[in-house]
Structure 1
Amino acid sequence: MKKRNRRRRRKKSNKMIWITGIFLGIFVLCIVLYIAAQIILSSRGSSPEEILLSYMECISEQKYDEIYEMIDVQSSENITQENFVQRNSAIYEGIEVQNIKIQITEYNETEKTVKYQSSFDTVAGTVSFENEAVFTSGEDGYKLVWYDSLIFPELGADDKVRISSTQAERGQILDRNGKVLAGKGTVSSVGIVPGKLENRDQSIQEIADLLGLTKESIEEKLSANWVKDDSFVPIKTIPKVDELSLSSLSPDEEMLQENERQTKLLNISGVMISDEEVRSYSLGEAAAHLIGYVQNVTAEDLENHPGEGYSSNSVIGRSGIESLYETELKGKDGCKIYIVDSEGNEKTTIAETIKEDGVDIRLTIDSDLQKALYEQFKNDRGCSIAMNPYTGEVLALVSTPSFDNNDFILGMSDEQWTALNENEDQPLYNRFRQVWCPGSTFKPVVAAIGLKTGTLDPNEDFGNEGLSWQKDSSWGSYEVTTLHEYEPVIMKNALIYSDNIYFAKAALKIGADNLMNSLDEIGFNQEVPFEITMAESQYSNTDRIETEIQLADSGYGQGQILVNPLHLASIYTSFLNDGNIIQPYLQYSDNPAGRIWIKEAFSSETVSQVMEGLTGVVNDPNGTGYAAHRDDILLAGKTGTAELKESQEDTSGTEIGWFAVFTADKNAKTPILMISMVENVKGIGGSGYVVSKDKAVLDQYFSE
């Protein structure tokens, strides 16, 4: 009996647990459904105003599927979700809508209408309009009645939104005389009409051979989805044949070869050649490092320059002046967003920005001088700077060897790019922006510092030490060597004979602190104020001149002295401007005037004393720069040879050759200050090699 009762109680207990579980499950389900309902209601908004705000927020986030859930489909002409999403996404994303703002101005509860002011940014500018939204009310709350006019008030169901753009013309880059250095040019575009090809495999191989391409690369272009039998498929851009040049008495050999190549291409069925307007660089290799080049924008460019007016059809400056003045040169494309009816007739303009062509950039560069310097040094690793020493106008900036920036416009093959990068002479390397060991061209700077600090007497005779010298036995086996013996050993003669021993002694007299402080005062360890960023000149690899030997070597431009050529040229302007260092600049002005960078770097008396030696360098028969002497124009300057070697005994090192030369007469008709550097002049005449080439350039410059 007891067992039976326990069994009954157990059954009753199990039944209670089962019933409790059911109710608990129902309770939990109700809570879940309630929360879900609240989320849905919250997302939809509990009022028309809130729904409209949610609607606009979803447009910003491109959540068109969620917007569709907010509308009363039946009252919205039963538009399908697919058509709704397609219509909205095509328009909003096509015109690149951003920064949507909405202000509700009126709500009519009876009519269930909401009036609002809307504005947003587009590819053609800001759009702003007043509009009205209509709602319905039912069991599941308010729903939006959607019509096309919610996108734009003027937009009908059969209308379309169109975008048209007008590309701005890129500004030209001009030299000081208005000659175009970068501007419009014409090239030939070689293309294939696939349906007209005969013996397809053979023809494509012939085309590949003539254009320096692979057969596979051409096949890849011909297999693009858009290509049809009658399509013109561009394959490669090549130079345009100059008919006028061909008809001259002595036609250019390269032009003759190009004409022959294009004739062979046109003899292949299916090949067409058409003219194409491109960016062109008139000086090519002679100014490639200075002018730079443009290329088509990439996806990365578009990502890095949002809202700056670039499109997939734009070009962008990659280097040189093209990059430096990109904002001014590129201009601003025009763009128009408008509505057309079902027949293509324009109904109304939504937004429009007017095209603004890029501005021309006129440089102080003399293209004839630029080309002359390039032609003289094109086979050397080096650079040249030329400027007007009174105004600061930079007349030439040359780096050699060079590359043809037009090749980047024509389309450089992988083979060409690899060849440029693997060339041991580094033609892509911009040498005029770097720092170099200045050798004896630094001696006038040390002389001026010695006079300024009062540590040097220009008339003190340092004594004839022969061709080698050391301060004392603490230097061990290290000695300073020089090439000439002369007397008296005073500053003027030391500059004329380029005496290393004199300037090693001078540096020791000046002292490390005096020398470092003075160099800092004339621009060392700081950027030269110039449009193009130049490497900073230095007097040590650390923050100071560490040893006595390093100090002595610094006196004649070795040790750890490294100088940027433009900076050195700027310092030299002080010798012609009563001790004021003139600031170099590159953008042309109709009324050029010298802008002082460092006022009273040296005194007038100091530069007068240094100039005696610099004038003698070129005009004294014993001077190291006498080969540049002229009878018609008074020149002054300084040669320099810097030895780069592992030790004093090293005979395998290189020698950097320098020549700094300038007109010494303030009344010179065409004043110029020119500095040239060649990385290795060992065995080819030392600095004399540079002097002879600069003389040829000056002969041409002064004859014009």
Structure 2
Amino acid sequence: MNSRVENNRRSFKPLLLFLVVIVIVFGATASYLIIKKNDKALFEEAAANFIRILENKDYKKLGKALDEHSYKSLNYTLEEVEEKYDRIFNGINITDIHASHVSLEKVNNNLYELSYQLSFTTPLGALEKLEYKTEMTKKDDKYLVNWEPALIFPGMEGKDKISYQYLKAERGEIQDHLGNGLAINETFKSMGVVAKELGEGNEKEAKLQKISQQFDLSMEEINKKLNQSWVTDELFVPLKTIESNKAVELPGVSYQNIKLRYYPLKEAAANLIGYIGKVTKEDNEKHPNLVDGDIIGKAGLEKAFDKRLRGKDGGEIWIVDENGENKQEIQTVEKADGEDIQLTIDSYIQSEAFEHLKGNAGSTVVMNPKEGGLFALVSSPSYDPNKMVQGISQQDYDQFANDEKKPFISRFAVGYAPGSTFKTITASIGLDANVTYPDKLRTINGRSWKKDGSWGGYSVTRVSDVQNVDMRKALIYSDNIYFAQEVLELGEDAFRDGLKKFIFGEELDLPIAMNPAQISKENTFNSEILLADTAYGQGELLINPIQQAVMYTVFQNEGKIVYPTLVKSKESPKTKSAITSTTANEMEKSLIEVVSNPNGTAHLLYNKRYQLAGKTGTAELKLKQGEKGNENSFLLAFDTEQDNFLLLSLVEGYSKGSSATQLNKSFIEKLYVYFGMQ
């Protein structure tokens, strides 16, 4: 019995020993795997932390990620490494940094290899997937990056630096059809002071007072600029931008040359050409490719043609050695200056058209009726776009913004009821439909008329009480009743069919924002009164001055509309037929009589030395019949000998002596002289 127990004990000991060995081996293996897993996690965390620092440009945290020995062995301090990153990535304004293809590979127990790609955006554009590789060494239970300059840009070594040159594209200029500048790049003087040159006390005050008087600057403005946080005694402080020929020597005053946009025609073309300015936050949101400091078109053609005018900035980023010698190209983008754009505008005609409106609210369009080129697009009153570029004071801007005549509105692109000039269109449609003809007489009694009792209290009125009226007389006297009766006989369907041959509802191919010309708010008049009112240019018609001018080109082109152009081109103009050539010729003869006949509403323009055709118009703005409303005055005038020009002019709310006809009489004579037709 005892021997059996003894034997069992002897057999159990090896088994126990085996189990102990198994437990020890398993425990050791498990511990090894855990340590190995934790070691890899340590490395992955350290690598991810280093990548985050790069992506977030959080360079002050580099000290916890880099092996001190690695950068010190290259004669760098930690502060120098941080500053190098900051000067390059923030100094150049590198953005959108992100890493990809991050790879981790173990070399030995305490050494891993880290490789990754970085993509980012410089001011010159995107740089994609630059290859980086480094080692990470375990020290004191953490992994640190073995740093070298190649971790900034691949290829850098030692004390290499980054050279960055940004080449600003020069903005293209806008010219008239003769090459005269409408928006040009001009050298100006930046007038300013250096604080230490002003002296102290009374001497300084006296100098500033003289500067204030000479350059029309308030002392408040001057002191505000001198008290800016960045100002020191040594720095030049710009106070005002002036034209080079206005620079004068004055104690304490200094000048620096600067290049600015300049608009030679000033107010005369401001609403057409517009102006430029620095990008705003809103601009950046709409166009993410823009950066702070960029100059873009803010209004007018400067805005419409901005992409073509702005061109494309260029530049170079190079790795250079300590002496500044180029070693390796990182990025090069060729600079492309902006495109010069030549318009059909004529500077002389544009300026004269503006001057002759004499500050009245209105617009004048002058067009080449054969080629479609727009010689002048004028809106009045206006503003000086040079003030916008050189720095407009809040007081001046508020004066423009609060002006009841609204100088920022481009009136050549605003829809108006065209008034009696539109009778030319109504007459043309009637002639083509064989309803109207030149000698067709209507007997009209009195200055008001209504069809019947269904019109209630509404009636059509006219200015002259002429009893027997034919089409020619109706145009000469501008008889509303005649054309109301003609269109009622013609009928809405035939009238609308005729109007649709013009440009109603069409988008014109012009770089100017405008609504299409409108016949009426709905597709049908649903009213004989509205039909009658439309015949003489009222009702719900909305046609801007450009559209009106385009419609009236039929009379100089055998019944064809010539579409407008604003950019000079060798291509033939686009045209379409709207009325017959017979009707166009008949209308031209009738409109010559409106000028030549002593009773004609445009007889003021008559000059026996040339043959001018014309039609005047007024559109009354009132809430109900019987009240007196403001009247807009219109003038259509065109040369019939050489067909060199067609003019459409509008004056809003005109008063005695300031009708479109009265304001443009001498302008038309100047046009004849200019075109050499006298």
Give the alignment's TM-score, normalised by structure 2.
Answer: 0.84
Could you give the per-residue CA deviations for residues 225-246 of structure 1, whole angstroms, max 9, x where no partner exists?
43332322111112332xxxxx
1:288 aligns with 2:270: yes
The match for 1:581 is 561
The match for 2:669 is 696
State the distance in 1 between where 2:319 and 2:395 align.
Answer: 49
| Distance change in 2, residues 1:678/1:38 (3 Å) | farther
Which of the residues 70, 95, 98 maps onto 2:96? 98
Aligned residue for 2:443, secondary structure, equals coil
1:204 aligns with 2:208: yes
Shift of 1:559: 2.3
* One-letter amino acid matched to 2:268: A
Which of the residues 349, 354, 372 maps onto 1:369? 349
State the distance in 2 between where 1:349 and 1:540 align.
Answer: 64
State the distance in 1 between where 2:605 and 2:459 align.
Answer: 31
Could you give the per-residue CA deviations for residues 262-310 of structure 1, whole angstroms, max 9, x where no partner exists?
65xx44x3222344332111111111111111123345444543324x5
| Distance change in 2, residues 1:686/1:476 (3 Å) | farther
| Distance change in 2, residues 1:286/1:42 (3 Å) | farther
The match for 2:8 is none
| Distance change in 2, residues 1:452/1:60 (3 Å) | farther
The match for 1:595 is 574
Q: Is the 8 A contact 2:356 2:663 kept in 1?
A: no
Which of the residues 586, 604, 611 maps onto 1:634? 611
The match for 2:252 is 270
* One-letter amino acid matched to 1:132: K
The match for 2:168 is 167
Q: Is the 8 A contact 1:194 1:228 kept in 2?
A: yes
The match for 2:635 is 659
| Distance change in 2, residues 1:691/1:75 (3 Å) | closer
State the distance in 1 between where 2:392 and 2:144 align.
Answer: 59
Q: Is the 8 A contact 2:71 2:77 kept in 1?
A: no
Percent of pairs with identical residues: 35
Which of the residues 390, 394, 399 maps onto 1:410? 390
Q: Is the 8 A contact 2:175 2:343 kept in 1?
A: yes
The Cα RMSD (Å) is 3.4
State the distance in 2 between where 1:692 and 1:514 align.
Answer: 37
Could you give the per-residue CA deviations for residues 143-181 of structure 1, whole angstroms, max 9, x where no partner exists?
542222112122235333232222221111110011111
User: Where do residues 422-437 of structure 1 align in structure 2 (5 Å cutoff)?
Assistant: 422-437=402-417
Q: Is the 8 A contact 1:126 1:351 kept in 2?
A: no
Once the two structures are overlaid, the 10-residue window that deviates more, 277-286 or 618-627, is 618-627
User: Where do residues 486-565 of structure 1 align in structure 2 (5 Å cutoff)?
Assistant: 486=466, 488-516=468-496, 518-541=498-521, 544-565=524-545
State the distance in 2 between where 1:39 and 1:609 align.
Answer: 99
- Runs of 5+ unmatched residues, structure 1: 1-34, 242-258
Which of the residues 444, 448, 451 maps onto 1:468? 448
Shift of 1:458: 4.9
The match for 1:380 is 360
Once the two structures are overlaid, the 10-residue window that deviates more, 108-117 or 694-703, is 108-117
State the distance in 2 between where 1:559 and 1:629 align.
Answer: 31
Q: Is the 8 A contact 1:678 1:690 kept in 2?
A: no
* One-letter amino acid matched to 1:332: K
User: Where do residues 172-251 of structure 1 align in structure 2 (5 Å cutoff)?
Assistant: 172-198=173-199, 199=202, 200-241=204-245
| Distance change in 2, residues 1:373/1:299 (3 Å) | same
* One-letter amino acid matched to 1:220: K
1:297 aligns with 2:270: no
State the distance in 1 between where 2:211 and 2:255 align.
Answer: 12
State the distance in 1 between where 2:632 and 2:338 align.
Answer: 42
The match for 1:147 is 148
State the distance in 2 between where 1:155 and 1:350 align.
Answer: 11
Could you give the per-residue CA deviations for residues 611-666 of structure 1, whole angstroms, max 9, x where no partner exists?
33223223334332233334454332311112223333323x2221111111234x
Once the two structures are overlaid, the 10-residue window that deviates more, 291-300 or 367-376, is 291-300
Which of the residues 314, 318, 335 maps onto 1:338? 318
Shift of 1:464: 3.0
Could you give the per-residue CA deviations for residues 53-79 of structure 1, whole angstroms, max 9, x where no partner exists?
x85565334455777665545555498
Shift of 1:456: 4.0
The match for 1:132 is 133
Once the two structures are overlaid, the 10-residue window that deviates more, 132-141 or 194-203, is 132-141
Could you give the per-residue CA deviations for residues 429-466 of structure 1, whole angstroms, max 9, x where no partner exists?
22111112211011111222334455545543222333
Q: Is the 8 A contact 2:445 2:466 kept in 1?
A: no
State the distance in 2 between where 1:537 and 1:403 align.
Answer: 27
The match for 1:59 is 54
Aligned residue for 2:307, secondary structure, equals helix
Give the alignment's TM-score, normalised by structure 1.
Answer: 0.81
1:648 aligns with 2:625: yes
Aligned pair count?
635
| Distance change in 2, residues 1:360/1:688 (3 Å) | closer
State the distance in 2 between where 1:235 and 1:487 align.
Answer: 71
Aligned residue for 1:188, secondary structure, equals strand
Aligned residue for 2:336, secondary structure, equals coil
State the distance in 1 between where 2:52 and 2:581 align.
Answer: 71
| Distance change in 2, residues 1:579/1:699 (3 Å) | closer
Could you give the per-residue CA deviations for residues 98-143 of structure 1, whole angstroms, max 9, x where no partner exists?
3656557996857854666655442234446544322335785765
State the distance in 2 between where 1:465 and 1:40 align.
Answer: 109
Shift of 1:680: 2.7
Aligned residue for 2:405, secondary structure, equals coil
Aligned residue for 2:486, secondary structure, equals helix
Q: Is the 8 A contact 2:270 2:382 kept in 1?
A: yes
Aligned residue for 2:442, secondary structure, equals coil
* One-letter amino acid matched to 2:364: S
- Runs of 5+ unmatched residues, structure 2: 1-33
1:566 aligns with 2:546: yes
